[in-house]
Structure 1
């Protein structure tokens, strides 16, 4: 697959990189990570400009998440309310989750770029939760720059010796990805723990059920 993607980039240049990252960030599962690695390898071999690729990926990622944000803000809440009840989640619980996402969501938006599936859904979730657009844009633009810088930059450094070091390079990319997975996992764990804690406090504050034997 990497060889095929490299052929596409060689034929279409930054356009194919921009379009792929834009589509993936909008919510569709296309091979964005592989595109960045292949583009970085080609840039390292001098067959395409590194900064052109980096800027194309950055712009595609930032714009794509804006599409997801707009869709989430327009349709997300109705979608969640429609299907949440099927999983035993009430509207009040959804509202509580939204409030927590507004508080803990920025790191998730930042690190989600490095996690498949979350990368596609981050913008939609932010729009659904009505995250202020200014805050979303800051972390979105920052994450959209860090992601291609890590993957495309790593591949660029290996590009001149790709045949010899590609296998090692995969471990490098995996290590970078693992760091962000751990950081994101800790953020989500704390997010869920606070939700459970608040739910427990609410349950504990309810008046006790009347004893039927005393009636």
Structure 2
């Protein structure tokens, strides 16, 4: 079964469950970025309704993020230190983002959720920072809506092409490949445990920057700095 057939068969319910689980922070071998883009591509070819798809995914992202936030706040720093390292959330990364979050409002949190390099640490760090839930909720709503809108823009623009590619890719194959690399990555991380801090910091940076939207944001920032640099040398 291809991803396109999977979404056609199970529809928005399947999308909601996958995005909710990923929002909670449970690692599953189905890329959330791919789900968002494919959902938008389904909208582009008329198989899904735009507002329904957008709202369902947004609710799943915010609900999942809320669960992760409340768990981080309840379980505390020691627990996150213990398990966070396996997904690139090192002590230093969590402490830095958490310190920033203590002075942040909803808008700053929303921006953090779409910023490469710190995006994956934003939700647990907000929990450690002790932000009020209402502040987190508004920030998560802003950031998730922006992040989702950017992915939807990609899917809507390239809808027919994306739908064609997805129809040729089997879902079990994607899951198998993702699981294979995940197992290999875990083994590599365990072997590199002595150099864990620097290694996992780079892993977290890669995970943040691997999504299409993050690549676009990073490229924009690079071009902006490149344009400014000659002016500062004059």
Q: TM-score, normalised by structure 2?
A: 0.58
The answer to whether residue 214 in structure 2 is matched with residue 177 in structure 1 is yes
Cα distance, 1:100 vs structure 2: 3.4
**After superposition, what is the alpha-carbon deviation per residue over 1:43-72, rounded to whole angstroms, capped at 9, x for unaligned?**
111112122111111000010100001100
Return 5+ residue gaps in structure 2 as ranges: 85-90, 167-210, 223-234
The answer to whether residue 190 in structure 2 is matched with residue 153 in structure 1 is no
Aligned to 1:122: 122
Structure possessing the higher relative contact order (Cα contacts under 8 Å, 6 or more residues apart) = 2
Paired residues of 1:40 and 1:155 also in contact (CA < 8 A): yes
Paired residues of 2:112 and 2:119 also in contact (CA < 8 A): no
In 1, the alpha carbon distance for the partners of 2:97 and 2:160 equals 47
**After superposition, what is the alpha-carbon deviation per residue over 1:81-139, rounded to whole angstroms, capped at 9, x for unaligned?**
7799xxxx8xxxx6x974433125853553434659944x4322211221122221111
Paired residues of 1:72 and 1:124 also in contact (CA < 8 A): yes
In 1, the alpha carbon distance for the partners of 2:117 and 2:97 equals 22
In 2, the alpha carbon distance for the partners of 1:116 and 1:7 equals 34
The number of residue pairs the alignment matches comes to 167
Structure 1 residues 28 and 110, CA gap change in structure 2 (3 angstroms)? farther
Q: SS where residue 46 of structure 2 aligns?
A: coil
The answer to whether residue 14 in structure 2 is matched with residue 13 in structure 1 is no
**After superposition, what is the alpha-carbon deviation per residue over 1:2-37, rounded to whole angstroms, capped at 9, x for unaligned?**
x83222111111111111111111112341101011
Paired residues of 1:73 and 1:128 also in contact (CA < 8 A): yes
Aligned to 1:112: 113
Aligned to 1:72: 72
RMSD over aligned CA atoms reads 3.7
Structure 1 residues 163 and 141, CA gap change in structure 2 (3 angstroms)? closer
Return 5+ residue gaps in structure 1 as ranges: 167-172, 186-215
In 2, the alpha carbon distance for the partners of 1:25 and 1:177 equals 17
Q: TM-score, normalised by structure 1?
A: 0.63
Aligned to 2:59: 59
